[in-house]
Structure 1
Amino acid sequence: MAVARSPIIDETNRLEALRALGDLTDGTGAEFSALVAMAARFVDCPIAMLNLVDRDAQRTVAGHGIELSELPRTVAFCNHTVRKRDLMVVPDAREDVRFQMNPLVTGDGLRFYAGMPVHAPDADGTRQPIGAICVVDTEPRQLSPAAAEALRHLATVAEALIAARGAANESKRQAERMARQERVLLQAERMAMIGSWRLPLGTDHVEWSDNVYRIHGLEMGDQPALSEALDFYPPHARAIVSGALAQLIDEEQPLDIETDFVTARGEFRRVRSIAELERNDGQPIAIVGIVQDVTDRYTMEQALRRSAELDDLTGIANRAVFNRTLETEITIAQRDGLPLLLALVDLDGFKAINDTLGHLAGDDVLKAVGRRLEQPWLKGSVAARLGGDEFALIVTDPALASSPAAFVRRLEAALAVPVTANGLTIMTAGTVGVALVSPDTANIRDMIHRADTALYAAKRARVGLDRRVMERRAS
Structure 2
Amino acid sequence: MSDSQREALRQKALAEIALLDTPPEREFDALARLAQRLLGTSMSSVTLIDPERQWFKARCGPLAPWTERGPALCTVVFESEQPLTIADARLDPRFAGNPFVVGEPHIRFYAGVPVRVRQVDGEPVTIGTLCVLDDRPRVPQPADIDVLAELACVAEALVEARAVAVRASQAAEERRLANERLERERRQFKQAERLAEMGSWRYDIVANVTSWSDGIFAIHELPAAGGVPNAEIMSFFPEPDRSLFLETVKRTLDTGEPFEMDAAFVTAKGRPRRVRVSCEIELSKGQPVALIGMLQDITERYGLEERLRRQARTDDLTQLANRAEFHRVLDQRLREARDRGGELAVLLIDLDGFKGVNDALGHAAGDDVLRRVADRLRQSGHDNGLPARLGGDEFAVIVPQSVGRADLMPMVERLLRDLHIVVSEAGQIARVTGTIGIAWSSEAGGDRERLLRHADDALYAAKRSCKGTARTFTEAGRERSAG
- TM-score class, shorter: 0.7 to 0.9
Q: How far is 1:183 from its partner?
A: 2.8
Q: How far is 1:50 from its partner?
A: 8.8
Equivalent position amino acid for 2:459 in 1: L
Are 1:144 and 2:148 matched, yes or no?
A: no
Are 1:435 and 2:436 matched, yes or no?
A: no
Match for 1:262 among 263, 266, 275? 266
Q: 1:451 — aligned with what?
A: 455
CA distance in 2, matches of 1:344, 1:333: 19
Q: For residue 225 of structure 2, give the secondary structure of its aligned residue in structure 1.
A: coil
Which one is further off, 319-328 or 241-250?
Answer: 241-250
Q: For residue 432 of structure 2, give the secondary structure of its aligned residue in structure 1.
A: strand
CA distance in 2, matches of 1:187, 1:236: 36
Flag the 1:201–1:23 CA change in 2: closer, same or farther, 3 A: farther
Once the two structures are superposed, what CA deviation does each residue of 1:427-469 show, in whole Å capped at 9, x if it has no partner? 433222211221652511111111112212222333499xxxx
Q: For residue 292 of structure 2, give the secondary structure of its aligned residue in structure 1.
A: strand
Are 1:309 and 2:305 matched, yes or no?
A: no
Match for 1:395 among 396, 399, 403? 399
Equivalent position amino acid for 2:167 in 1: G
Are 1:241 and 2:242 matched, yes or no?
A: no
Once the two structures are superposed, what CA deviation does each residue of 1:241-263 show, in whole Å capped at 9, x if it has no partner? 22223333344443332212233
Match for 2:286 among 282, 286, 290? 282
Q: 1:345 — aligned with what?
A: 349
Q: 1:473 — aligned with what?
A: none
Q: How far is 1:340 from its partner?
A: 0.9
Q: Conserved in 2, the CA contact under 8 Å of 1:53 and 1:79?
A: no
Q: Conserved in 2, the CA contact under 8 Å of 1:88 and 1:115?
A: yes
Q: How far is 1:342 from its partner?
A: 0.5
Which one is further off, 79-88 or 186-195?
Answer: 79-88
Which one is further off, 260-269 or 406-415?
Answer: 260-269
Q: Calculate the TM-score normalised by the size of structure 1.
A: 0.72
Q: Which runs of 5+ in 2 are unaligned?
A: 38-42, 470-483
Which one is further off, 142-151 or 229-238?
Answer: 142-151
Q: Conserved in 2, the CA contact under 8 Å of 1:18 and 1:120?
A: no
Q: How far is 1:396 from its partner?
A: 0.7
CA distance in 1, matches of 2:424, 2:277: 54
Q: 1:294 — aligned with what?
A: 298
Flag the 1:23–1:160 CA change in 2: closer, same or farther, 3 A: closer
Q: How far is 1:411 from its partner?
A: 1.6
Which one is further off, 243-252 or 345-354?
Answer: 243-252
Identity among equivalent pairs (%): 30
CA distance in 1, matches of 2:175, 2:52: 25
Q: For residue 279 of structure 2, give the secondary structure of its aligned residue in structure 1.
A: strand
Q: 2:472 — aligned with what?
A: none
Mapping 1:106-255, distance limit 5 Å: 116=114, 132=128, 144-154=144-154, 156-157=156-157, 158-159=159-160, 162=163, 165-166=166-167, 169-170=170-171, 172-173=173-174, 176-177=177-178, 179-180=180-181, 183-184=184-185, 186-188=187-189, 189-190=192-193, 191-255=195-259
Aligned length: 445
Are 1:406 and 2:398 matched, yes or no?
A: no
Are 1:329 and 2:330 matched, yes or no?
A: no
Match for 1:372 among 370, 376, 385? 376
- When the two chains are superposed, the root-mean-square deviation of aligned CA atoms in Å is 4.9
Q: For residue 409 of structure 1, give the secondary structure of its aligned residue in structure 2.
A: helix
Flag the 1:463–1:417 CA change in 2: closer, same or farther, 3 A: closer
Q: For residue 302 of structure 1, give the secondary structure of its aligned residue in structure 2.
A: helix
Q: For residue 378 of structure 1, give the secondary structure of its aligned residue in structure 2.
A: coil
Q: Conserved in 2, the CA contact under 8 Å of 1:372 and 1:415?
A: yes
Are 1:36 and 2:28 matched, yes or no?
A: yes
Flag the 1:321–1:166 CA change in 2: closer, same or farther, 3 A: same
Q: Over alpha carbons, which structure has the higher Rg?
A: 2
Q: Conserved in 2, the CA contact under 8 Å of 1:232 and 1:261?
A: yes
Once the two structures are superposed, what CA deviation does each residue of 1:332-381 show, in whole Å capped at 9, x if it has no partner? 22331334111111122222222233333333333333333333752121
Which one is further off, 429-438 or 226-235?
Answer: 226-235
Equivalent position amino acid for 2:28 in 1: V
Flag the 1:403–1:376 CA change in 2: closer, same or farther, 3 A: closer
Q: For residue 234 of structure 1, give the secondary structure of its aligned residue in structure 2.
A: coil
CA distance in 1, matches of 2:464, 2:124: 105
Q: 1:468 — aligned with what?
A: none
CA distance in 1, matches of 2:375, 2:76: 96
Q: Conserved in 2, the CA contact under 8 Å of 1:79 and 1:131?
A: no
Once the two structures are superposed, what CA deviation does each residue of 1:81-124 show, in whole Å capped at 9, x if it has no partner? 997484788999x9984557999x79xxxx999685555869xx
Q: 1:68 — aligned with what?
A: none
CA distance in 2, matches of 1:39, 1:412: 116
CA distance in 2, matches of 1:304, 1:353: 32
Equivalent position amino acid for 1:218 in 2: L
CA distance in 2, matches of 1:357, 1:59: 108
Q: 1:356 — aligned with what?
A: 360
CA distance in 2, matches of 1:330, 1:254: 36
CA distance in 2, matches of 1:443, 1:134: 102
Q: Conserved in 2, the CA contact under 8 Å of 1:53 and 1:73?
A: no
Which one is further off, 270-279 or 14-23?
Answer: 14-23
CA distance in 1, matches of 2:376, 2:112: 105
Flag the 1:144–1:364 CA change in 2: closer, same or farther, 3 A: farther
Equivalent position amino acid for 2:326 in 1: F
Q: How far is 1:212 from its partner?
A: 2.2
Equivalent position amino acid for 2:353 in 1: G
Q: Conserved in 2, the CA contact under 8 Å of 1:81 and 1:132?
A: no
Q: For residue 206 of structure 1, give the secondary structure of its aligned residue in structure 2.
A: strand
Equivalent position amino acid for 2:153 in 1: H
Mapping 1:34-113, distance limit 5 Å: 36=28, 39-40=31-32, 43=35, 84=79, 86=81, 97=98, 99=100
Q: 1:469 — aligned with what?
A: none
